[in-house]
Amino acid sequence: MFHWKKLGRIFDPQCMASPAWMHEFAQSPATIINPHTVRVFFCTRPAPSADGKYQSHIAYLDLDRKNLLNILKISATPVLELGKVGTFDEHGTYPVSVISHQNEIRAYYAGISRCESVPFNATIGLAVSQDGGDSFHRLGEGPVLPYTPDEPFLLGSPRIRRFEGQWQLWYVAGKEWRITENSKKEPIYKIRMATSTDGIQWNKVGRDLIPNKLGEHECQACPDVIYRDGKYHMFFSYRDIYNYTSREGGYRIGYASSPDMETWTRNDDLIDIPLSNEGWDSEMINYPHVFELDGSIYMLYQGNGMGRSGFGLAVLDKQSIWS
C-alpha cells in the first residue's frame, strides 16, 4: 500500500496578489531540485477573454528545501512566450514536465491551439533553459512529438524521465471526440509512451498502456513514473468523460506497476490518497508529480477544478511497501 499524508495546499494564485497573467489556476506542478530550493514549474492562466476562452502560461515558484510549505520566490513573468500565429502552441502551454540535462533544463509541454470543429488540439513541444529555469527558448517552432496516422489528434500530458540510459516520455493520445448529453464535445484520451536516445527524436510504442477501470469512456492523464525496488511505479490521473467537474466524476489518482515500462499491471486499490471532506481538494485530486528529496518521497498534485484551486503536497508514509 502507498499511504500518502497530505501536508496542505502550497499555492493558489487566487489567494495572492498575483500579476494579471497569473490570475487563476496552478496546474501540472513539476520539480527541479536545487541545493537550497525546490523549483516548481506549473501552468497558470490570465482571466478568460470576453468570449470565455483561456490562454495558459508556464511559471515557477521556489520552495525552501528545508520547509516545502515555504514559498521563497514566484516568477515575475512567464518563462516561455506563447507561440507565433498559426503555430502549435499559439494559445497555450499546458501541461508541463521538466528535467535537468547536463547544463540545461528541458521543458516538455503540450502546446494548445484552438480549432473550429472542436474546442482545441494539442501536440508536445520542447523548450530549453540555460539560466536555471528563469527563461526558456523553443527548440523550434514545431512540436517534437507530432501527430501520426494512429495518433491523429490531442497529444498531451507529457511526463519526462530517464531510465537505463534512455529518455522516456509518457503522454496521452486522443482516441475520439464525443458529444455528451449537454452537447459539449469532449475528448477521450489514454496513456502511451515514446523512447529516445537524445530526447528529441522519438520512437512511439504505439499502443495504450493502462487498462480501463471506468470503461472505454475513461480519460487518463499525466502519468508520472519512478523506479523503486526492482519495479517501475506509475501514478496517474483518471476520470469519467461525464460529470468530471464534480466530486462524483472528478479526477482521482490511479496506480500501476511494470517490470519493463511497457507491460503495466493496474491496481488503484494500492494507493491511499482520498479526497478531503471539504476544501480545495474535496472534489478531485489529479496530475500527480512524484519526487524524492532528502530521504522522503513527495507528491505534488492539483485539486478542484483541474487546478483552479491550486496545488498541494503529500508525503509518502515510510511504512509503504513498494514490492
Distance CA 3, CA 274 (A): 10
Report, as an integer, the average pLDDT of 148-174: 97
pLDDT surpasses 90 at 182: no
- Please determine, for residue 249, whether its predicted confidence score (pLDDT) is greater than 90: no
Q: Residue 181 above 80 pLDDT? A: no
Q: Are 90 and 28 within 8 A, CB to CB?
A: no
Statement: residue 322 has pLDDT above 80: no
Higher pLDDT, 227 or 182: 227
Whether the pLDDT of residue 18 is over 90: the answer is no
319: pLDDT strictly greater than 90: no
pLDDT tens string 263-288: 999 999 999 999 999 999 999 999 99
Q: What's the grid cell of residue 97?
A: 514536465
Residue 242 has pLDDT above 70, yes or no: yes
Residues 6+ positions from 117 with CB-CB distance below 8 Å: none
Separation of alpha carbons 81 and 179, rounded Å: 33
- pLDDT tens digits, 50-78: 988 999 999 999 999 999 999 999 999 99
Q: Structural domains in the chain?
A: 2-316 (2.115.10.20)
What are the tens digits of pLDDT across the range 82-117? 999 999 999 999 999 999 999 999 999 999 999 999
User: Could you give phi then psi for residue 268, rounded to 5 degrees?
Assistant: -65, -20
Kindly report, residue by residue over 207-235, the tens digit of the pLDDT: 999 999 999 999 999 999 999 999 999 99
Which contiguous run of DSSP H or E holds residue 305?
helix 304-307
Specify whether the backbone of 231 is left (phi greater than 0), alpha (psi in -120 to 50) or beta.
Answer: beta
CA distance 258 to 235: 12
pLDDT in tens, 26-50: 999 999 999 999 999 999 999 999 9
Check: CB of residue 156 under 8 Å from CB of residue 95. yes
Residue 100 CA to residue 247 CA, distance in Å, equals 36
What is the chain's length? 323
Region 319-323: what's the mean pLDDT? 75
Contacts of 286 (CB under 8 A, 6+ apart): 221, 222, 237, 239, 250, 251, 252, 253, 301, 302, 303, 306, 307
